[in-house]
Structure 1
Amino acid sequence: MPDTDLGIRSPMQNESDIHLIYATFPDMESGRQAGERLIGARLAACVNMWPGMVSLYRWEGRVEEGEEIVFLAKTTATRLAEAVAAIREAHPYEEPAIVAVAAAGGSAGFFDWIRAETQPEG
């Protein structure tokens, strides 16, 4: 089946090596530091951060509520483990929320850009 006019590939057309890494951070500064680390080391092509998210969660037997930022990094399967390790190392939380999700499909050109930007230098 060919690409659609928009260059979007479905899961049936393209087994993707692209991954999204979702995490939360307590503030923009800590998220930005982690993002700059990923981009600088070419472990991610792009990081998006949304401030103002409210989280409700259970921690140590109590229901907690706090404001956090959403952190979303785009990377490849070959860089995924290193990227997750870098987020964990840079993260101020004792047990950070980090979830990696394989992209089922998407823009072929965008995926190519992610692959190119996450190639190790040298």
Structure 2
Amino acid sequence: MSVVIAYCSCPDARSAGVLARALVEERLAACVSELPSVRSTYRWQGSVEQGEEVLLMIKTTSDRLDALGARLAALHPYELPELIAVEAIGGLAPYLAWVAQQTRDDD
């Protein structure tokens, strides 16, 4: 099991807050940081779109990623929510241990 940082964009602060709270309450994430006012440019259904979004940085573990993705898909307002995860290759050992502890399903 490793610590991962998952990224997810949201259309607004309200939906970002709802998702962040649910993921932490359900122990799918130890911490979710909300980065307001990111500008995204993307291709969607044949058109190039641009818009302001809130980016979530979700700190979790690799073994919780599938459950996190399923919950995100159920709660997210987008038809196709973004979820991209990268492995943390290092970090402060006590923090990494805290992330693992907070995402344990058996507490």
| Residues 42-57 of structure 1 mapped to structure 2, 5 A cutoff | 42-57=27-42
Q: Structure 1: which 5+ residue stretches go unaligned?
A: 1-15
Q: Distance in 1 between the 2:33 and 2:69 partners?
A: 15
Q: Distance in 1 between the 2:35 and 2:43 partners?
A: 22
Is the contact between residue 42 and residue 117 of structure 1 (CA under 8 Å) also seen in structure 2? Answer: yes
Q: Structure 2: which 5+ residue stretches go unaligned?
A: none
Q: Which has the higher helix share?
A: 2
Q: Distance in 1 between the 2:68 and 2:43 partners?
A: 27
- The one-letter code matched in structure 2 to 1:61 is G
| Residues 1-122 of structure 1 mapped to structure 2, 5 A cutoff | 17-122=2-107
Q: Secondary structure at the match of 1:42?
A: coil
Q: Distance in 1 between the 2:35 and 2:91 partners?
A: 21
Q: Aligned pairs, how many?
A: 107
CA RMSD, Structure 1 to Structure 2 (Å): 1.2
Is the contact between residue 34 and residue 86 of structure 1 (CA under 8 Å) also seen in structure 2? Answer: no
- The one-letter code matched in structure 1 to 2:45 is E
- The one-letter code matched in structure 2 to 1:97 is E
Tell me by how many angstroms 1:63 deviates: 1.1
Deviations 1:17-64 (A, max 9, x none): 101110100001111111111111111100000111111111111111
Instruction: Write out the 4+ residue segments of structure 1 that deviate beyond 2 Å after TM superposition.
Output: none
Give the greater-gyration-radius structure (CA).
Answer: 1
